[in-house]
Amino acid sequence: MPGPGRPREFDRTSALDAAVRVFWRQGYEGTSLRDLTAAMGIGRPSLYAAFGGKEQLFRAVVARYRETEMAYVRAALDRPTAHEVAEALLHGQLDALRRPGLPAGCLSVQGAAAVSAGNAGVAEFLAAGRLAGEAALAERFARAVDEGDLPPGTDPAALARFLQVVLEGQAVHAAAGVGSADLARSAELALRAVPAGGRRRRAPR
């Protein structure tokens, strides 16, 4: 139901999805407003009216990316055991990387890896998001220790950090052009660091 005034001629979400792909492929600083308006099919003033500017658009893009491309993360945390959580994360990422027609790698990792001084805030924003994901994972693993699902003595924070490091490394590797099949074999090695099934394995020391 449009209010008064001329109605917007584009769909905000479709335009946002187009911006996701551009920022994903080219990073924050590698993307110009010309790239964005061309991909989104809108004029520059429309972009400013709808999203506020380049940086605000980027933040909206990251939020959208997390909702769509990283939906597997939320689902993974709900798995019943720590090992299944880790498995769902690693496999979910591999599935996400396998999708055709999308840029390689991960927007959150490569979107603002290193930036000029003026855009340091953007890099910090992405880094904080990744560390928040790690913290959520650590909390989940701490619960697993409480539940006896992970062996007592397990350091949940260290395990979460290890897993997050692997996920980030896989993203870097995927961006370099390595395919999901090859990444799956290294993911399998990583998965062994997470004790499986009740108390049948020894605790990591």
Partner DNA sequence: TTACCTCTGTACCGAACAGTACAGAAGTTC
Partner DNA sequence: GAACTTCTGTACTGTTCGGTACAGAGGTAA
**Residue 194 contacts residue 159 (beta carbons within 8 Å):** yes
- Residue 169 in the binding site for a second copy (CB under 8 A): yes
Q: How far is the CB of 103 from DNA (least distance, A)?
A: 18
Specify the stretch interacting with DNA by CB under 7 A; choose among 5-13, 65-73, 132-140, 152-160: 5-13
CA 109 – CA 175 distance, rounded (Å): 10
Based on CB atoms, which residue is closest to DNA, 47 or 82?
A: 47
- Residue 40 in the binding site for DNA (CB under 7 A): no
Out of a second copy, DNA, none, what residue 125 binds, judged by CB under 5 to 8 A for its kind, is none
- Residue 111 in the binding site for a second copy (CB under 8 A): yes
- Residue 139 in the binding site for a second copy (CB under 8 A): no
- Residue 4 in the binding site for DNA (CB under 7 A): yes
- Residue 33 in the binding site for DNA (CB under 7 A): yes
For 73-82, which contacts have Cβ atoms below 8 Å and span 24 or more sequence positions?
73/133, 77/136, 77/137, 77/140, 80/149, 81/144, 81/149, 81/196, 81/197, 82/140, 82/141, 82/144, 82/149, 82/150, 82/159, 82/194, 82/195
User: Can you give the length of the chain in residues?
Assistant: 205
- Residue 156 in the binding site for a second copy (CB under 8 A): no
For 86-89, which contacts have Cβ atoms below 8 Å and span 24 or more sequence positions?
86/163, 86/190, 86/191, 86/194, 87/191, 87/194, 89/137, 89/163, 89/167
Based on CB atoms, which residue is closest to a second copy, 139 or 155?
A: 155
> Given the rule CB under 8 A, which residues bind a second copy?
24-27, 29-32, 35, 105, 109-111, 113-117, 119, 127-128, 130-131, 155, 157-159, 161-162, 164-173, 175-178, 182-183, 185-186, 188-190, 192-193, 204
